[in-house]
Amino acid sequence: MTDLADALVDCDEETVLDLVRQRVDSGSAVPDIIAECNDGMSELGNRFEEGDAFIPDLMFAGMIMKKVTDELTPLVRQSGEAGSRKKLLIGTVKNDIHDIGKNLTAMIFQGSGFEVIDLGTDVPAEKFVAAIEEHHPDIVGLSLLLTTSRPSVRSTVEAITKAGFRDSVKICLGGAAADAVLAQETGCDFYGAGAIDTLKWAKTL
Ligand code: B12
């Protein structure tokens, strides 16, 4: 792991933000900085699983990641006429409150010229459907971090289908509890392991 990932595992906010600024100043690409942070968050997750880290550690690291996201957002912000851009509607599925990866994905898409509508976390299927009706997105992104929330992916896709919107949107699934098999089984169009490969796919649409 890199010093940045280590500092995140240690929940050392000052060092994390210093290292992020150093990376930015030396010209590192935003996705590379995110990848380093991901390594730290995954390691923290492993430690949590093994009983060597606790909920407050995860929460604190989550707060630091929010500050990292704030730090990186201006670097990827791009202007562009709303209305002329492709739209991504994104949210974390019902019963799941994790939002760091969703926020990073939203930020990367915004920076690439997409209009992003973010529904937040713990989003019920009906809320996705209502937002599709209101915003007419090109892509719907579902974020899933908890294996126990896997049924929410299926019910969301089913609700979108039942409401008659399945043919008008592409659905992609991402997050640490998602995989290509789940995406296929639940009727999603794409599994995005990370924001960047999803962006590549989105640009081919
Ligand atoms: C931080 C954290 C928390 C924080 C969340 C803070 C926040 N604001 O999000 C807090 C402390 C609140 C939390 C709570 C809980 N957590 Co938690 N948490 C984590 C941790 C350590 C890091 C997650 C993270 O942010 N990673 C960094 C981001 C950048 O990565 P990412 O989300 O995967 O996103 C990347 C890609 O997946 C992708 N992506 C993400 N979303 C999307 C969406 C789309 C559309 C696309 C295309 C791509 C995409 O792009 C991102 C960038 O590459 C993980 C460990 C892990 N390995 O994931 C556990 C983890 C997810 N949590 C876990 C658990 C169990 C919980 C709790 C149930 C604990 C509890 N007993 O209360 C609660 C959940 C409550 C709930 N109802 O949701 C487990 C889940 C186990 C499982 N298999 O289901 C994990 C895996 C830890 C573990 N190893 O046990 N958690």
Of 42, 76, 110, which closes a domain? 76
Q: Which atom of ligand 1 is nearest to the CA of 42?
A: 57
The pLDDT assigned to 137 comes to 97
Q: Are residues 183 and 117 in the same domain?
A: yes
Q: Provide the pLDDT for residue 79.
A: 47
Q: Which of 48, 76, 104 is the C-terminal boundary of a domain?
A: 76
The residue segments making up the domain with residue 169 are 87-204
**Residue 82 lies inside a defined structural domain of this protein:** no
* Ligand 1 pocket mutation, candidates 39, 72, 98, 121, criterion most atoms within 8 A of CB: 98
Q: Residue range 165-179: average pLDDT?
A: 97
Q: Which residue has the higher pLDDT, 173 or 62?
A: 173
Task: Let me know whether 107 and 57 are in one domain.
Answer: no
Residue 94 shares a structural domain with residue 142: yes
Same domain, 37 and 114: no
Q: What is the pLDDT of residue 78?
A: 56
Structure-model confidence comparison of residues 113 and 158, the more confident one: 158
Q: What's the pLDDT at 195?
A: 82
Same-domain status, 50 and 93: no
Residue 182 maps to a domain: yes
Q: Is the pLDDT of residue 84 over 70?
A: no
- Of the chain, the percentage scoring pLDDT greater than 70 comes to 96
State the catalytic residue, choosing from 112, 143, 149, 152.
Answer: 149
Instruction: Tell me the C-alpha distance between 42 and 25, whole Å.
Output: 25
- φ and ψ at residue 192, rounded to 5 degrees: -105, 105
Percent of the chain with pLDDT over 90: 74
Task: Read off the pLDDT of each residue in 151-174 and give the average, rounded to a whole number.
Answer: 98
Query: What rounded mean pLDDT belongs to the chain?
Result: 92
Q: What is the pLDDT of residue 77?
A: 66
Q: Are residues 103 and 61 in the same domain?
A: no
The enclosing domain of 7 has a CATH number of 1.10.1240.10
Clarify whether residues 105 and 55 are in a common domain.
no
User: What separation in Å is there between the alpha carbon of 47 and the centre of ligand 1?
Assistant: 13
Q: What mean pLDDT do residues 67-80 have?
A: 78
Confidence check: pLDDT of 18 > 60: yes
107 falls in which pLDDT band (50, 70, 90)? confident
The pTM of this model reads 0.91
Domain count, the chain: 2
Is residue 197's pLDDT more than 90?
Answer: no
* Shared-domain flag, residues 185 and 102: yes
- Of 76, 102, 121, which one is at a domain's C-terminal end? 76
Say what the pLDDT of residue 186 is: 97
Question: Are residues 114 and 182 both part of a single domain?
Answer: yes
Report, as an integer, the average pLDDT of 80-101.
86
Q: Output the ligand 1 site: residues, CB below 6 A.
A: 34, 38, 41-42, 44-45, 48-49, 55, 58-59, 61-62, 90, 95-102, 104-105, 141-143, 145-148, 172, 174-177, 192, 194-195, 198
95 and 196 part of one domain: yes
Q: What is the pLDDT of residue 169?
A: 98
Please report the pLDDT score of residue 3 as a whole number. 97
